[in-house]
Amino acid sequence: MVLTNNVNELRLLIKKSSAGNVGLVPTMGALHAGHLSLVKRAVESTSLVVVSVYVNPTQFNDKSDFSRYPRTIEADVALLQSVLRSNDIVFAPTDAEMYPEPDTRQFSFGNLEKVMEGPLRPGHFNGVGQVVSKLFKFVEPDKAFFGLKDFQQVAVIKNLVKQMGVDIEIVPCPIIREPDGLAMSSRNQLLEPKIREVAPAIYQTILKAATMFGKEEPEEIKKYVFSSLEATGLLVAEYFEIVDDVDLEVLNSNKQIDSSNKYYGCIAVQAGKIRLIDNIAMN
């Protein structure tokens, strides 16, 4: 594994490796088994892997979320060393390296940014578009690996690839969970112990919600989800929406379930000061 924080060196390392195909795994560090599952998948299916570790300021709409976001680069490098090959690259740039000039680009993702995380995190997906498009240009990967934990992000990135007109295969990877069902997240380590204890209710609730799909109206399922989390006394659902996995059209009782669609129930939860997201396949 080779570590660099420099874009020119990154390009040179990729060029010199003359790899058959290149895989990119973008991360913000504080790595856990969820991230490593993406990296392992990349190692299996490409001959050169670039893992980026960068806490991208432009995608944080909440300053305190940005400042408390865990930064653990040494531990991250040690973990990556255990799964990467000798020629694979860890790219951990500085802000000056990523943004030598302020990025004024404005992306438009249509309906994909009008639902769920979009209105609650203004500017978030624009920041994701800025950083990921830069990484795509630096690395020119054949494949890029993203976790379905960030379900809406996967749809946005697929759209970004179309907008950029680049030939990059987006590989969505399944959600990795703690033994008690909580979706792994770098933010989990910031949860207060009492809240961490009840947090598995999120997964239990959406599991039950999935069993209600097709039998109960979406509004009824939503009510169940909100009240089930309220019953913990510590978790508050921000939204629960059932959407298709391409256009992210929100399902409601006025819309027919289209059995050729794949539907996901997506949730955001306020857990003390920390915001958690999760999702589950409904059909």
Catalytic residues: 35
Whats the size of the chain, residue-wise?
Answer: 283
Q: Which of 90, 184, 267, 268 binds ligand AMP (CB under 6 A)?
A: 184
Q: Should residue 59 be labelled a site residue for ligand AMP when binding is judged by CB under 6 A?
A: no
Q: Should residue 35 be labelled a site residue for ligand AMP when binding is judged by CB under 6 A?
A: yes
- List the one residue out of 172, 164, 91, 108 whose CA is nearest residue 133: 164
What are the tokens at 208? 């039950």
For residue 91, the cross-strand partners are: 4, 52
Site map for ligand AMP, 129-148, x if CB under 6 A?
Answer: -----------------xx-
Q: Should residue 267 be labelled a site residue for ligand AMP when binding is judged by CB under 6 A?
A: no
For residue 263, the cross-strand partners are: 244
Binding span for ligand AMP by CB under 6 A among 1-9, 181-189, 222-230, 268-276: 181-189
Binding span for ligand AMP by CB under 6 A among 14-22, 99-107, 170-178, 195-203: 170-178
C-alpha separations of 214 from 220, 225, 253, 267 in Å: 11, 16, 11, 18
Q: Which of 13, 22, 36, 38 binds ligand AMP (CB under 6 A)?
A: 38
Determine how many CB atoms are found less than 10 A away from the CB of residue 147: 22
Q: Should residue 171 be labelled a site residue for ligand AMP when binding is judged by CB under 6 A?
A: no
Give 272: exposed, middle or buried? Use CB within 10 Å, 0-12, 13-18, 19+.
middle
Note the residues at the interface with ligand AMP (CB under 6 A): 27-28, 34-35, 37-38, 146-147, 149-150, 173, 175-176, 183-186
